[in-house]
């Protein structure tokens, strides 16, 4: 659930999230968290 994901990201204190482009719109990413698309990282 979105609420659980949001809580986990806030509580963990993450600063960087490795993900895939198609998931970015589905994740409740806090404003202070930077994202890195794994496909871009592998190029």
pTM of the predicted structure, to 2 decimals: 0.73
According to the model, what pLDDT value does residue 19 have?
Answer: 92
Give per-residue pLDDT as tens, 1-18: 899 999 999 999 999 999
Residues 17, 33 contacting (CB under 8 angstroms): yes
According to the model, what pLDDT value does residue 43 have?
Answer: 66
φ, ψ (nearest 5 deg) of residue 17: -120, 120
Structural domain boundaries enclosing 22: 2-42
Cα(5)–Cα(43) distance, integer angstroms: 28
Q: What is the length of the chain?
A: 43
Count up the domains in the chain and report the number: 1
CA 32 to chain centre: 10
């Amino acid at each position: 659930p979105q609420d659980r994901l949001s809580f986990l990201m806030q509580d963990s204190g993450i600063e960087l999230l490795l993900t895939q482009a198609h998931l970015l719109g589905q994740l409740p990413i806090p404003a202070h968290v930077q994202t890195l698309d794994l496909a871009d990282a592998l190029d």
